[in-house]
Amino acid sequence: MSVLWTSEEIATATGGTAQGDFSVTGVTFDSREVEAGDLFVAMRGEATDGHRFLDKAYAAGAAGALVSEETAQPHVRVDDPNAALDLLAQASRARVSAKIAGVTGSVGKTGTKEALFLALDRAMPGRGHRSVKSYNNHTGVPLSLARMSRETRFGIFEMGMSAAGELAALTRLVRPHVAIVTAIAPAHRAWFDSDEAIADAKGEIFEGLEEGGTALVPFDSPHRDRLLAAARPHAAQVLTFGLGDGADIRARDHVPASNGGSLVTAVLPTAELTFTISQPGEHWIGNAMAVLGAVEAMGGDLAAAGLALADMAGLKGRGERHRIMLPGGEALLIDESYNANPASMAATLKSFGATGVSGKRIAVLGAMKELGEGSDAYHAALAAPIAAACVDRVILVGEEMAPLASALGPTIKMTHVAGAAEAAQEARSAMAPGDAILVKGSNSVGLSAVVEALAGGKD
């Protein structure tokens, strides 16, 4: 692997002092993820201190560490490893000539980030970089930047927040040429007074735009005008995307495709493209419009982007599909276990209702977290999209689901359980050949365990 950082470069970037001459091929702050050649950043947190794991990191093959305490192993010593990681991120961003995109939103940001990466990678294979997993917070974003090689041609960074001001700081690290807000929904509603306040916090992403940058705003959002106002002072070009008439990047036509996705004709300011998107659901059509807008703004190949969207596989926890072999046939398992809020629940249930099945539709739904005082009402309101999706059996997980259990009443067969283990048992006993099983909930509910339990017999 090529050298990512030398000890001298790390010391220069962070203002630290190098002990030992070393080079690294990766960066991590989790000792459990250390691989041979990595730089281990001994960060201090509220619950632990990375210096406690230095021996473990070196034993796993770390080439050096970023520390604030003495160690006999090769290292760069700084006053504060947490702050030093930000400085390393800034140095990484400064040394590349790549086109950079930043993605945020209450829903759809990880999927859009992945789709945009694949769309650009199709024409420039191996020349791109992106955030992994959902490394989108005050530690994940600088880590993702620090991992970007100097040869990178394009970079895609996901940015999240749970409080006002967080995105403003992150976007100034990323300094995107293109900034995307996917959608606004009452995620993290416990920390904000209103959905408008969430929109304002998401709009902070535009503050870090590079000169001549492009802002992409969801046309169909009720917060469109608010986001446009946030973008205009910082962007040379502000474009809207979506399905509605008047959007700058619009899905003029879309029909179901044979693979479960959609055949779409998109109209852009300078082009028109007909392509297939593999992912099911109308929300993914909107995401694809954002991707195409970003590809064009970053000088990418739209035709290659269309091919990439057609080939895109479902993401683990965000739409990945499994075929479960059962006596007499198979069932379809849809893994949406990573995250949930009212908007994503409604969109996923709508897509689930359009999924062709010969048997039952079974929905395993976990609690939606961090919704604040409106939590009960948000959960109860899921009764309508569940009914519209013609769900035959509902398995609810977590105490927050009690209002929904009451709202569903006797018309839909329903079971309310405390945790993932019980939910897996209920789903396993209920499913039969021809069924489709949707698993969706906030990550902290742990419904990935349900997917793992049911998908043991996948093909």
pLDDT tens digits for 433-450? Answer: 999 999 999 999 999 999
Give the tens place of pLDDT for each residue, 333-359: 999 998 899 999 999 999 999 988 999
Catalogue all structural domains in the chain, each as residue range(s) with its CATH number: 5-78 (3.40.1390.10), 96-311 (3.40.1190.10), 320-457 (3.90.190.20)
How far is Cα 218 from Cα 320, in angstroms, rounded to an integer? Answer: 25
CB 155, CB 178: distance < 8 Å: no
Q: Which residues contact 428 (CB under 8 A, 6 or more apart)?
A: 453, 454
Q: What percent of the chain has pLDDT over 90?
A: 89
Q: How many CA atoms lie within 13 A of 302 on its CB side?
A: 19
Q: What SS3 string covers 18-81?
A: EECCCEECEEECCHHHCCCCEEEECCECCCCEHHHHHHHHHHCCCCEEEECCCCCCCEEECCCH
Distances (CA, A) of 107 to 197, 222, 259: 16, 15, 24
- Taking residue 273's Cβ as centre, other Cβ atoms within 10 Å add up to 18
Rg over CA atoms, the chain: 23
Give the tens place of pLDDT for each residue, 8-61: 999 999 999 999 999 999 999 999 999 999 999 999 988 889 999 999 999 999
Mean pLDDT of 362-387: 95
- What backbone torsions phi and psi does residue 38 show, to the nearest 5 degrees? -75, 155
- In sequence order, what DSSP letters do the residues of 167-230 get, joined into one string? HHHHHHHH--SEEEE----STTGGG-S-HHHHHHHHGGGGGGPPTT-EEEEETTSTTHHHHHHH
Mean pLDDT of 106-111: 92
How far is Cα 451 from Cα 88, in angstroms, rounded to an integer? Answer: 38
Residue 458 has pLDDT above 80, yes or no: no
pLDDT at 421: 95
pLDDT at 317: 85
Q: What percent of the chain has pLDDT over 70?
A: 99
